[in-house]
Amino acid sequence: MTIWWLISIIGSLAAVLAGFIWVAVKLSSVQSSDPGKKKKKDGKDASVNDLDKAYSDLAEEDVNHLFNKEFREELRNRGRLRFEKIVDENAMFLKQDLDLTISQLNEYMKQQISSKLDSEFTVYSKAMKEAQELTLGALQKTAQELEQQRAELSEAMKKSMTLHEAQMLKGFETNMAQIVESYVMQSLGEQFDMRSQLPYIMAQMEAHKKEMMEDMLL
């Protein structure tokens, strides 16, 4: 609809311009169609000039009449409106192009970022996998060392416990013997008198007589 309005306005302007040109051509042809009469006209220059002036005034008046102030104002308004419309349309087209460009740019950016992120993620994933494998290997090694140390510690503890148990048992037996001995000593110490001990003493001395005799003879 708008384009048709524009076409009609342009067509009107073209028709006015064509009429103006036709009038100008007619006037020039009228002036050049009487060359033999120049001399005659020399005398009549003043009247021709007046005539030209009259025609000019007439044409000017016609032009002023045809393109009067209202018509020019109307044309100006139409042109302003048309210009605004064109500007709006172009702005709309520009906006559409800009939106399309932005959309494409977004898509492009998205693709680029995705590919970049994919590659980075691939590298990162690879690095992570390597780090994971390295960490796993270190953890396994540490676990093996810990297990070995635990086994050694367990063995050492077992040996120490066995040794300690044997020492405690030995100490217990020794102390127990000493306790029993002390108990018997304290229980019997006051019960023996010399007369009751005499047979035991004589028997012991008799048993060691040979050793004592050898010592006395030295």
Contacting positions for other proteins (CB under 8 A): 169, 172-174, 176-178, 180-181, 184-185, 188-189, 192-195, 197-198, 200-202, 204-206, 208-209, 211-213, 215-216, 218
Which residue number, 131 or 212, has a Cβ lying nearer to other proteins?
Answer: 212
Q: Give the whole-angstrom CA distance, residue 128 versus residue 122.
A: 10
CB of 209 to other proteins, least distance (A): 6
CB of 201 to other proteins, least distance (A): 5
CB of 174 to other proteins, least distance (A): 8
Encoded tokens for 216: 């006395």
Cβ partners under 8 Å of residue 66, min gap 6: 16
How many angstroms separate the first and last alpha carbons of the chain? 160
DSSP 218: -
Q: How many CA atoms lie within 13 A of 120 on its CB side?
A: 6
CB of 162 to other proteins, least distance (A): 15
The SS3 of residue 16 is helix
Q: Name the residue among 114, 79, 94 with its Cα closest to residue 6.
A: 79
CB of 206 to other proteins, least distance (A): 8
Which residue number, 64 or 182, has a Cβ lying nearer to other proteins?
Answer: 182
Q: Give the whole-angstrom CA distance, residue 91 versus residue 57.
A: 45
Cβ partners under 8 Å of residue 78, min gap 6: 9
CB of 182 to other proteins, least distance (A): 10
